[in-house]
Amino acid sequence: MRGAVNPRRAALTAATASVAVLAGILPGTPSAASGPGGAVALAYTCAFSTGDGTGPAAGTTDSPTPTAGPAPSAGAPVTVEAAVTVHQRYPATGAVGARIQPGPLTVEVALDADAAGAVLPAGATSATAEASLTARVTQGGSTADALWPGLRAAATPAAHGLDLTFTGEAGALSVTAPGTVRFDAGRLDLAVHAAGDATTPPDTPTPTAEPGAPGGTPDGTGTPEGAATTAAAARPAVTAAAERTARTAAGLAVPAAGTGGLTAACTPEPGQATTLGEVTVTPAASPAAPAPTGSTPAAPGAPGGTTGTGPTTRHGTIALAEPPHSGIDTCPPPPTDDPDQDLLDSLPRPPGSFFIPVAKEDRQAECTFLTGLSNVGKLGGASVVNDLNHHPALTNVTQTGTWIGFQEDGSLYSEFDSVATMQLPPGPSTFLTFGFMPTSAVMTLTQVGPLTLVIVGSSGDDYVTTTTVYGKLQLRLSHIEVNGTPLDVGPDCRTVEPLDIKLLGIDLSNTAGGGGVIKPTDYNEISGGPLYQDELTIPPFTGCTAHGDDVDALLTASISGPGNSLNLIQGPLCIPSAFLNCDPEIGYPTPPHR
């Protein structure tokens, strides 16, 4: 039963709290102009094979539900047709030598029932997947293949065809000459993980249930009156069965036992327009550096890619940027702070609910990355929070306790409490004060008290899982420049009181309309997702002096007030003790659109 909330949900929520706070106070800048957008529909041909290079594997006895059409036995790759739709936006213009950043990617891949039945193993009822898209970049006679890896699709039903929605980030590039830069869709590589039922194979020991996990009780034995175990003792051993249990509780696809992963090389069918977008590049403000000689660079691993430079033409060269990587594969020690007890005491719970604490010495390290946008009402724009291209901060979280109770309808009430820390470095921001005056500043956020995360769910058949992040951060401003002229605001320029943070994450996968599938719009503590705060108030400023003159009123008039919001995305949660989402590195989330 996947009704109860997984205890790890609390950890992920904490990460969001910190990022949200930062986003809410950043001054905004107007969004960059957007070029061609919308959907580009394409026909692809995909050659599927198993992870060992053979065709799809046959089903197994613990995956009883067949898909449409029998899966072929292992053998030669199976070729099927796929409908692919790419959603992406591009800046309207760029400059020679400057970074050109395509917008985040959404790639929809649809296989009809016959195609899905031909490639998926028998018994597969759902699937998750990863993908990489190769884009052909062209400017005049210069071309380069840009590889955009790391696209991920959430669990999707597979009984009546397979519709995968991938999201991810596109790499940046620069060019050495003016002219139109065109992006075309190329090869699409897929890795599909089929899933059957969530039953643990008979020959695999059943792991101990975590406190409050589906089918579990406070002591992990099935007896509510038993003594509670620690979180460390309750975590299952890292076995295939443990992974299946964790995936089931988190709403992720469970690999069908005995079947391998599927890979596919997909290519656009000839004779169709594949253009995703175009960017008009203008001359740089200063003379561009001489174009290098050699061969045209391509993305590492891209078809024909090299480490050198390519033939120079009068159109210049195209230089591709490596996609951002965290390079981090583990978490710092778990936070030692306690959550806001007064806040937790104020939350409504069913009568008779009981609390299972996690001792500080038993807390588990869990961490993630968050990024997003701060939308500032007075400035009419958005500013990036925790920029993934510039040494982003890691959010450190840990679960501190679980509440269990029974609601009036007999369903199980589950609440998971966590605490989070994130030491955000000072961040520069540029914006237009009063809509016309270019202003830059360095913002520093200091955590005031704990960041408290609360995840509430149920065991019923139709319920919403809600994650809320509470906290306070003090905002300080320094190194302000107005139209290039320094404005000395002193060492103690700050808001009169901390910002009140209340981020919300909603998971509708357990509702009647959710169908048990975690969609990109759902927030899940394991896989990540969107967190938001629709109404954030920035308090007035105080302590801001410029050469003895009080400039509190100026900053308050240009920044402070209601009508601000946060739009954040959390990446996958790394849990080192469970070897989950940490290897080969902790992944970055896909930034939200402005």
C-alpha–C-alpha distance, residues 557 and 550, integer Å: 13
C-alpha–C-alpha distance, residues 11 and 417, integer Å: 8
Identify which of 102-106, 319-323, 350-354, 586-590 has the greatest average pLDDT: 350-354
Per DSSP, which regions of 158-244 are E strands? 162-168, 173-175, 179-195
Structure tokens at 204: 């695999």
40 sits in which H/E element:
strand 39-50
Query: What residue spans define the domains of the chain?
Result: 9-30+326-578, 39-198+255-313
Average pLDDT over residues 34-56: 69
C-alpha–C-alpha distance, residues 466 and 123, integer Å: 32
Mean pLDDT is lowest, of 71-80, 188-197, 293-302, for 293-302
Mean pLDDT is lowest, of 197-201, 207-211, 538-542, for 207-211
Q: Which residue has the higher pLDDT, 349 or 235?
A: 349
- pTM of the shown model: 0.60
pLDDT of 229: 27
C-alpha–C-alpha distance, residues 63 and 194, integer Å: 10
**CATH number belonging to the domain at 39-198+255-313, selected among 2.60.40.2270, 2.60.40.1180, 2.40.160.40, 3.40.1130.10:** 2.60.40.2270
Query: pLDDT (tens digit, 9 = 90+) per residue, 137-186?
Result: 999 888 899 989 888 887 788 878 999 999 888 888 989 889 999 999 99
pLDDT of 142: 87
| pLDDT confidence bin for 382, thresholds 50/70/90 | low
Query: pLDDT (tens digit, 9 = 90+) per residue, 285-330?
Result: 544 333 333 333 333 333 333 333 333 334 478 888 776 788 999 9
C-alpha–C-alpha distance, residues 31 and 164, integer Å: 29
Kindly report the length of the chain: 594
C-alpha–C-alpha distance, residues 166 and 86, integer Å: 10
Query: pLDDT (tens digit, 9 = 90+) per residue, 427-454?
Result: 677 665 555 566 777 777 788 888 999 9
Mean pLDDT is lowest, of 216-220, 421-425, 475-479, for 216-220
C-alpha–C-alpha distance, residues 395 and 474, integer Å: 17
Q: Is the pLDDT of residue 343 over 90?
A: yes
Per-chain mean pLDDT for the chain: 73
Q: Which residue has the higher pLDDT, 252 or 174?
A: 174
pLDDT of 82: 96
| Phi, psi (deg, nearest 5) at residue 24 | -65, -25
441 sits in which H/E element:
strand 437-447
Structure letter (DSSP) for residue 502: E
pLDDT of 460: 76
